[in-house]
Amino acid sequence: MLVPLYLQDGRLHAVFTKRRDDMRRHAGEISFPGGRQDDDEDLRTTALREAEEEIGLPPAGVELVGALTPTPTIATNYAVYPFVGLIEPGFAWTPSAREVAEVLEFSLTDLRAGYGKRRLVRRGVPFRTDVYVVGPHLIWGATARMLGDLLGRLPAEA
């Protein structure tokens, strides 16, 4: 998984995808670009390939600068390996028609301001979890945990 970040107007921004509502897994959810590893590639290559497939971000346009803590997904039991990459601002996204409903860009300032805990219900099971809300957009689950890891590593003014 790639955590694309860019600096604009002195503030860091993160790029997310909103998955299509008709997807079999994680339908309608907000996530960083990412997907399954091919047998013959390392995880960094997977992150870059998936970002290109999902949002049209060319691997040459990404400077990988680190990795976050591997994060499990609860519902689908995946291990997600997030890599942080710096990109240039103002990229014209080309979302995958098969997977991506929308590409979203949020400043880390807005994400921090939207942090809270919320009671959600999934598959009939209520649970309390960390969330980030920016406008009508709700980030929760593994993506919220990765985002919390990222924000915890950066100064509050980033």
User: How many folded domains does the chain comprise?
Assistant: 1
Phi, psi (5° rounding) for residue 117? -115, 145
Q: Is residue 158 part of a domain?
A: no
Strand partners, 67: 83
Q: Is residue 120 part of a domain?
A: yes
Strands 2-8 and 83-86: parallel
Q: Is residue 79 part of a domain?
A: yes
**pTM to 2 decimal places:** 0.92
Cα dihedral sign, 47-64-145-33: negative
Q: Is residue 84 part of a domain?
A: yes
**Cβ atoms within 10 A of the Cβ of 5, count?**
20
**Cβ–Cβ under 8 Å, residues 15 and 107:** no
Phi, psi (5° rounding) for residue 39? -60, -30
- Residues 103-143 pLDDT 10s: 999 999 999 999 999 998 877 888 889 999 999 999 998 99
- Residues 11-57 pLDDT 10s: 999 999 998 867 666 667 999 998 777 766 789 999 999 999 999 99
pLDDT of residue 146: 96
Residue 109 maps to which CATH number?
A: 3.90.79.10
Structure tokens at 48: 């870059």
Query: 131: domain range?
Result: 2-153
Q: Is residue 66 part of a domain?
A: yes
**Cβ–Cβ under 8 Å, residues 117 and 145:** no
Q: Is residue 148 part of a domain?
A: yes
Which amino acid is residue 27, in one-letter code? Answer: A
- Residues 44-96 pLDDT 10s: 999 999 999 999 999 999 999 999 999 987 766 778 899 999 999 999 999 99
pLDDT of residue 22: 75
